[in-house]
């Protein structure tokens, strides 16, 4: 850090769309009856990570698998469940399960990137389309909103457990280009091509909005959150990214 700088990378902390809504969900907590659905989503994520990683079941070799396993551990997913999800990649689902990315539009100028893992793309796209339309949105074509997002990696640090020096050192290592801070955490964003440098941290693949739309009206915020919650509630959907803050 250069002399006189007091903020990470001398960048003003801002909230990207998905981070804001993720924070709201985190504060709501995970209900016990929702854990089954979460574990099911994580299992699919682990299986597809092995399939798309060339069949490599070793997290040390397969970066995407390592990230999926770290996420599963963070959600307290049992080791047996993780092992079974890895084994599935060698079974019948090997030629069926695939990751798909959909693009869509919502209220208040909202653009969505929807990442799903499915063994039946026709079923999944139908569910996504119907859910968006019920919530006042619509499914877009490939490329319709992707240009509004920057695909990158991210790591969240607990500010109590990690010093600023440690966070800075990590950011330098992965070439972090942006930072977000709140009272509890610091999130670093770095180029997607540097994901391979992550070894001991739980990294995420993000679609960060390049020109986010600011929403301050509480009623509009609730409307946006409800559409995110509805789409993420679909069994095949792993994650939803939006361009609103």
Chunked into runs of 10 residues, the chain (245 residues) has average pLDDT values of: 40 45 52 70 90 84 87 90 88 77 90 94 96 94 95 91 91 92 89 85 87 88 90 92 90
Phi and psi based region of residue 136 (left: phi greater than 0; alpha: psi -120 to 50; beta: remaining): left
β-sheet bridge partners, residue 151: 207
Model pLDDT, residue 61: 84
Domain borders along the chain are 12-28+96-245
pTM for the full model?
A: 0.78
CATH for 12-28+96-245, options being 3.30.70.980, 3.60.10.10, 3.40.50.300, 3.50.50.60: 3.30.70.980
Measure Cα distances from 38 to 42, 44, 84, 186, 207 in Å.
6, 10, 15, 24, 21
Model pLDDT, residue 217: 87
Q: With contact defined as beta carbons under 8 Å apart, do 71 and 42 qualify?
A: yes
Q: For residues 34 and 16, give the distance between their C-alpha atoms in angstroms, rounded to a whole number.
A: 26
Question: What is the side-by-side order of every strand in the sheet holding 98-105?
Answer: 138-140, 98-105, 111-118, 237-242
| Structure tokens, 58 | 């070793």
Q: For residues 166 and 157, give the distance between their C-alpha atoms in angstroms, rounded to a whole number.
A: 10
Residue 73, φ and ψ in degrees, nearest 5: -65, -40
Model pLDDT, residue 128: 97
């Amino acid at each position: 850090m250069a002399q006189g700088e007091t903020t990470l990378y001398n960048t003003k902390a801002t909230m990207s769309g998905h981070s804001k809504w993720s924070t709201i969900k985190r504060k709501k907590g995970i209900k016990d009856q929702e854990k089954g659905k979460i574990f099911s989503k994580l299992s699919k994520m682990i299986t597809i990570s092995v399939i798309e990683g060339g069949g490599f079941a070793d997290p040390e070799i397969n970066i995407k698998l390592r990230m999926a396993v770290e996420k599963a551990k963070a959600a307290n997913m049992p080791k047996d469940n993780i092992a079974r999800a890895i084994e599935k990649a060698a079974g019948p689902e090997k030629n069926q399960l695939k990751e798909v990315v959909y693009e869509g539009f919502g209220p208040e100028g909202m653009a969505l990137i929807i990442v799903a893992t499915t063994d039946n793309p026709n079923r999944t796209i139908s569910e996504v389309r119907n859910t968006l339309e019920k919530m006042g949105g619509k499914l877009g074509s490939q490329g319709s909103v992707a240009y509004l997002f920057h695909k990158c990696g991210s790591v969240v640090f607990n500010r109590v457990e990690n010093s600023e020096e440690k966070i800075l050192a990590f950011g330098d290592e992965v070439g972090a280009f942006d930072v977000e801070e709140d009272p509890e955490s610091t999130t670093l964003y770095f180029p997607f091509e540097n994901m391979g440098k992550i070894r001991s941290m739980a990294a995420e693949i993000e679609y960060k909005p390049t020109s986010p739309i600011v929403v301050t009206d509480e009623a509009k915020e609730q409307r946006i959150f409800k559409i995110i919650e509805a789409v993420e509630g679909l069994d095949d959907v792993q994650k939803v990214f939006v361009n609103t803050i």
